[in-house]
Amino acid sequence: MMTWLDFDERDDHYLGLSGAHVVATPALLTLRDNLADVLQARAMMCVHGDAGLGKTLSVNAALRALAPADVCRVQFRARPTPRDIRHVLFDALGCSGAPPARPIEFDALLKHVLAERPRVLVCDEAQWLSRECFEFWRHLWDDRRTDIAIVFVGGGDCYRVLRREPMLSSRVYVWQEFRRMSREQVLDVIPVYHPVWADADPELLAHADVHAGHGNFRAWAKLTAHVVTALDRLGQPRPDAAVLQWVFSRLGGHDA
């Protein structure tokens, strides 16, 4: 279990890549506007898309600007049960004492804490959630005493589960899908993303995207980390075709 206080901006970047910047992409700017509306309405939002497209980074960056003191971020690495969510929230919200033994008492405690002041509950890796888990989040949100907005961040399974359950999907105020960067977006974004690409030839960037980046921020972070290592070892100021070929050989796969 992780809470908002366990993360700083460096944690947002895959591999903790030194020198990486948060870039104001169209997706991030749209997300910030959407989140502002969701927070004002105390509503639910679903941010979904394939892995590595910058969903979590964008949500974290936007919420640091919009509601830094109100965020409670939880994350799961396996399929949780409603009981797991109760205990994760108990810790993340800083509840005192021992967790109640009975679900009805546990839920009453969580609702009491969530009624004390505004909260933004961010559930990352929400693709691991079952229908019963989503129903539990809805149960908390539906209570008139709680003062919460909920942001689900996850892959396609998260979207599909929510969409096929009318009781759930009808309560989602905003849906936002993240997609791969187009070639034009790569050429605009990547030189700003990390200094190692600042003066790179557009053809070199396009070549790197075809063979390793694939319009995916996480793939570009991994590619960039390898390029930084290569330049340090070779004493070169900027990447070239030979550096990229060495990196591709490290990344493996058919494209290498």
Residue-wise pLDDT tens digits, 180-195 = 999 999 999 999 999 9
Instruction: Quote the pLDDT of residue 256.
Output: 45
Give the residue extent of every domain in the chain. Answer: 4-178, 183-251
Instruction: Quote the pLDDT of residue 13.
Output: 67
Q: What is the average pLDDT value for the chain, to the nearest integer?
A: 91
Is the pTM of the predicted complex or chain greater than 0.85? yes
DSSP-derived secondary structure for 144-166? TT--EEEEEEE-HHHHHHHHT-H
Please identify every stretch of the chain with a pLDDT value under 50, giving residue numbers as ranges: 1-7, 254-256
Place of tokens 């050989």: 249
Instruction: Quote the pLDDT of residue 164.
Output: 85
- 94 Cβ contact list (under 8 Å, min separation 6): none
Dist. CA 106–CA 114, nearest whole Å: 12
Tokens of 248: 């591709």
CA atoms within 13 A on the CB side of 76: 24
Amino acid (one-letter) located at 243: V
Instruction: Quote the pLDDT of residue 15.
Output: 67
The CATH number of the structural domain formed by 4-178 is 3.40.50.300
- 190 Cβ contact list (under 8 Å, min separation 6): 197, 200, 205, 209, 213, 220
Instruction: Quote the pLDDT of residue 16.
Output: 73
